[in-house]
Structure 1
Amino acid sequence: MTQHDIHTDILIVGAGLGGVAAALAAADRGARVVLTEEFPWIGGQLTSQAVPPDEHPWVEEFGITARYRALRDGIRDVYRRRYPLTDAARDRDELNPGAGWVSKLCHEPRIAVGVLEEMLAPHRSTGRIRLLERVRPIAATTDGDAVRAVTLSSVVDGGETVVHARFVLDATETGELLPLAGVEHVTGFESRAETGEPSAPERAQPDNVQAFSVCFAIDHVEGDHTVPRPAEYDFWREYAPAAWQGERMLSWQAPNPRTLEIGTRGFAPNPGDDVLDVDADQSRNAGDANLWTFRRIAARDLFADGFYESDICLVNWPSIDYFLAPVLTADREEETAHYERARQLSLSMVHWMQTEAPRPDGGFGFPGLRLRPDVMGSEDGLAQAPYHRESRRIRALTTITENDVSYAVRGDDGATRYRDSVGVGMYRIDLHPSTGGDTYIDVASTPFEIPLGALIPQRMTNLLAANKNIGTTHITNGCYRLHPVEWNIGEAAGHLAAYCLAEDTAPHAVHADDALLADYQRELDETGVERHWPEGRAHAY
């Protein structure tokens, strides 16, 4: 085992969307950055977790940062330059390569990896950003209320690297640094007495955490591509959790998130639909009537004849939600065991679809379904990393509650406006079934702002939250956890750390001092961060 020491201005642990955005913002302002990543691909939920971007209906016009827009534009540019699109697809300003209903920009995850790498490339060439790959945090050294160093372990050979930094950003998917550094944090449900939220339980439930999922990509071609019967197939085949009201999870049945009634989704591979007529706006249409087209990431009819043998479908459905036990409060051994069981669930869903799933023609099984490890960048066709909907969350200067964003509470007055806003976001409060046995919680929300105080821990002076580990509650995590919001959070955190370095100040001081806050916010405005919604242009859904 070898050990190395690195000294830098800012350490960003986790190169998901928040981490990459933070690194770009900090480096653009002149700071030296070390950025780390555990999995082969940077990009987190967009890439290694393989989830197409969940975005609000106005994303093409407003409500995202300039850097996030550059990412989206870059993805479309790759398709226009390198792929044999049809003329009609190429001319479409809002090109949606997958013609999926979940997003206006469904695409293969590898494309986003390349664009993110390209965005980082200039700073990596100068050495301003140093990317440490395939490492995970295992320890942190603190001095009073400050983090001085973080020890990273290689997931390949166990070698250790200690990074010393003036500011540390936790941009991990599960808030991994928080317990290592002794940062006060919360998991699961807070109590109604603490938060005053209508949807919260009477008592806190720290082990009650949303499901995570191991996603995968499939296409449908000639031949028999049936995977071997998974070791846990018998268990998952019969599993009928309470939220499914007697139905099995491995089925086309699932609860409707808003009504909780059990409904049946369709599944028809390569349906020959009008791919240019897809209206990916979930405020008007949930889009999941045919699961094949819901998160489709490659629509073959948008490309030259024969380029794709089949559409490519990304599976992130209720049937692969894993909620047998929480992993946020588990030790490493338990965590690994649950990740393996979640992989077994996903493989069981593949096997069920190939062998037993009801077909529209009255038959059973789709043996032509084929896992796509090449699309996932993995050996088995499953995503490289689990898709975590919920993280450990800091005890922050500002905690965003349901009462700040719920349309039922706020009405036409809109969400809480913050003097320290550092961005905006929008999504329904969308909570999946959880480890405590709860079913969906789905609450209409209003377009909201991101307060700086939610990124700053109450006590720690040089650590910032840069992912879904900010000061939300279990409830409001459901609308602050999506792709563009995570990016905005990371961008604001990275810029703040670099600002504090240059001005020789601290995050708490910027939050408290009106002059410093205004100066920092002015810089955000100049870099294209939208901190307020345009008047009358966005609405609740």
Structure 2
Amino acid sequence: MTHIETDIAVIGGGLGGVAAALAALKRGHRVVLSEEHPWLGGQLTSQAVPPDEHIWVEQFGVTTTYRSLREGIRQYYRDAYPLTDTARRDLQLNPGRGRVSRLCHEPRVALAVITRMLAPHLSSGRLTVLQPHVPIAADTTDDTVHSVTLRHTTTGAETTVSATFVLDATETGELLPLTGTAYVTGAEGRDETGEPSAPEHGDPTNVQSIAWCFVFDHVEGGDHTIERPDDYAHWRALAPAFWGDAMLSFTAPNPRTLRPETRTFNVNPPYATVVGDEDPRADAGDDDLWIFRRIAARETFLPGSLDSDIVLANWPQLDYLGGSIIDTPDRQAHLRAAKAQSRSFAYWLQTEAPRPDGGTGWPGLRLRGDIVGTDDGFAQAPYIRESRRIRAMRTIVEQDISVALRGHRGPARFADSVGVGMYRIDLHPSTGGDNYIDVECAPFEIPLGALIPVATRNLLPAAKNIGTTHITNGAYRLHPVEWNIGESAGELAAFCLERELLPADVLAKPELAGRFQATLTEAGVDIHWPEILGY
């Protein structure tokens, strides 16, 4: 067994893990960063989902390093791709011209930018990246984590990492049970949190659905139909009571009204069909599935560069409702089933989907494994919306951030804020049988207390595993917020390491908390929202 000693161990290489590692490295500390999948970047890369962001993202509301990531992606396209003159001059270039985001792009480009951001730290020797590795054990005594043991997913070789601080940036909070850190799963009850959108009683198995995304384009006149899945009949018959049709259809509930609606699917629509400046507060942008999460639009590139748009499938029809992958012996079975559901939807698109011309199916739809780094066109990992969550010194509840409950009183502020975020409370249909839960949010902040476990002394959450509830996780789970959480956790570990403090010490003493907030501000982390009424 290999043994590594370091200052800070970041377990999990998604957006939060990358941001945490960068923050600690820029302070001069040694970092070990581990990741289960071939690509760093989590939901942005191995899960293939372009960023879900708030409407002010081009002006404010994200950290300086997250903005560097976004601008790095745009610059990569300018440097490497045959853009039209209009696209090249566009300061807010959106390569996919998708409706879900002002920056829809290919996951491999984000990977290239993340790799570049980490490169100098690899050269310095202060960063060690362990891939593909998963945590399998931890040595913890007296609420202090001494080491984490990782296993290589291919060879089975094990590596033990000893560190002064350990950050859990895994997609589902894998270190929490391994280290004995108190945590919550699933839905808390209204009897516990008082949240109007919570069920009356809690259910730890009721989590947001996962979705196994895939990427495709269309070859006119071609036939790229995949083999009919053996379990296709099972998925073809699946029709939840609230769905309004079979899940293998263009119908799904409207997240805000809960009424079933039928979407369109216009393959390679004419140029200039989307302006791209629509306000998602009034229009979610998902009326047409093709353009909703399109990641490369033909009109962005010089004529002849792309024969087809490139589209990411991350739609309601892929939401897997069959069970939770957290704290269950059936985890692998649920992962296989989630991918099988997506594979059946891809086959349905190729063979049975109703076309505008009255025909059925688009056999020319071609899965693009080269775009996502796989052989089959499906993402390396499922899109995971909900994690285990620490029992924190401060738990964020619906009452803290809901516009309906707070009224229009400006941003949801916390005196101990360590960052900002903004998104609706957006919960997808769940494994407990819930329909969407969609609640309008105020711009919110990230309280330091939500990053501090009630007992474990030197472990910090650095992803979707902070002190939220099942309900508020629906707002705090998106790309820029996860990055901010990870960056602030990395800064907190560095701050404590340099002063021989524990995170709970910083929270307990207002003077220390203020000094830490000043450190964050200096690093380019906004800790409070500007006044945004009228924007």
Aligned CA distance change for structure 1 residues 538 and 388 (closer, same or farther; 3 Å): farther
Specify which of 365, 368, 381 is matched with residue 369 of structure 1.
365
Deviation digits for residues 127-152 of structure 1 (CA, Å, limit 9, x no counterpart): 11111110000111101111111110
Q: Is the 8 A contact 2:412 2:442 kept in 1?
A: no
Q: Is the 8 A contact 1:243 1:433 kept in 2?
A: no
Q: Does residue 500 of structure 2 align to residue 507 of structure 1?
A: no
3-state SS of paired residue (2:113): helix
Structure 2 Cα separation of the partners of residues 405 and 425 of structure 1 = 11
Structure 2 Cα separation of the partners of residues 64 and 524 of structure 1 = 13
Q: Which residue of 1 aligns with 2:424?
A: 428
Specify which of 161, 169, 181 is matched with residue 167 of structure 2.
169
Structure 2 Cα separation of the partners of residues 202 and 528 of structure 1 = 41
Q: Which residue of 1 aligns with 2:75?
A: 77
1:277 positional shift: 2.0
1:414 positional shift: 3.3
1:538 positional shift: 7.3
- Which stretch has the larger CA shift, 515-524 or 277-286? 277-286
Deviation digits for residues 263-291 of structure 1 (CA, Å, limit 9, x no counterpart): 00000110014067222531232111110
Q: Which residue of 2 aligns with 1:274?
A: 272
Q: Is the 8 A contact 1:100 1:280 kept in 2?
A: no
Deviation digits for residues 400-440 of structure 1 (CA, Å, limit 9, x no counterpart): 00000000001111353211100000000000010111100
- Which stretch has the larger CA shift, 283-292 or 404-413? 283-292
Structure 2 Cα separation of the partners of residues 359 and 197 of structure 1 = 43
Structure 2 Cα separation of the partners of residues 330 and 382 of structure 1 = 24
> Which amino acid is 1:225 matched to?
H
3-state SS of paired residue (2:450): helix
3-state SS of paired residue (2:77): helix
Deviation digits for residues 331-374 of structure 1 (CA, Å, limit 9, x no counterpart): 3xx21111111111111001000000000111100001000000
Q: Is the 8 A contact 1:197 1:401 kept in 2?
A: yes
Q: What's the RMSD between the two structures over aligned residues?
A: 1.0
Deviation digits for residues 432-452 of structure 1 (CA, Å, limit 9, x no counterpart): 010111100001110000001
Q: Is the 8 A contact 2:188 2:203 kept in 1?
A: yes
Structure 2 Cα separation of the partners of residues 512 and 414 of structure 1 = 27
Specify which of 189, 192, 197 is matched with residue 191 of structure 1.
189
Structure 2 Cα separation of the partners of residues 86 and 273 of structure 1 = 13
Q: Which residue of 1 aligns with 2:90?
A: 92
Which 5+ residue runs of structure 2 have no aligned equivalent?
Answer: none
Which 5+ residue runs of structure 1 have no aligned equivalent?
Answer: none
Output aligned runs, 1:278-427, within 5 Å: 278-279=276-277, 281-331=279-329, 334-427=330-423
Q: Does residue 494 of structure 2 align to residue 495 of structure 1?
A: no
Q: Which residue of 1 aligns with 2:24?
A: 26
- Which stretch has the larger CA shift, 488-497 or 299-308? 299-308
Q: Does residue 207 of structure 2 align to residue 209 of structure 1?
A: yes
3-state SS of paired residue (1:130): strand
Q: Is the 8 A contact 2:410 2:533 kept in 1?
A: no
Q: Is the 8 A contact 1:136 1:153 kept in 2?
A: yes
Q: Is the 8 A contact 1:12 1:168 kept in 2?
A: yes
Q: Which residue of 2 aligns with 1:527?
A: 523
Deviation digits for residues 87-145 of structure 1 (CA, Å, limit 9, x no counterpart): 11111110000000000000000000000010001111101111111000011110111
Q: Normalization by structure 2: what TM-score? A: 0.99
Q: Which residue of 1 aligns with 2:256?
A: 258
Q: Which residue of 1 aligns with 2:237?
A: 238
> Which amino acid is 1:166 matched to?
T
Q: Is the 8 A contact 2:350 2:365 kept in 1?
A: yes
3-state SS of paired residue (2:147): strand
Q: Does residue 49 of structure 2 align to residue 47 of structure 1?
A: no
3-state SS of paired residue (2:242): helix
Identity %: 61
Q: How many residues align?
A: 534
3-state SS of paired residue (2:521): helix
> Which amino acid is 1:289 matched to?
D
3-state SS of paired residue (1:244): coil
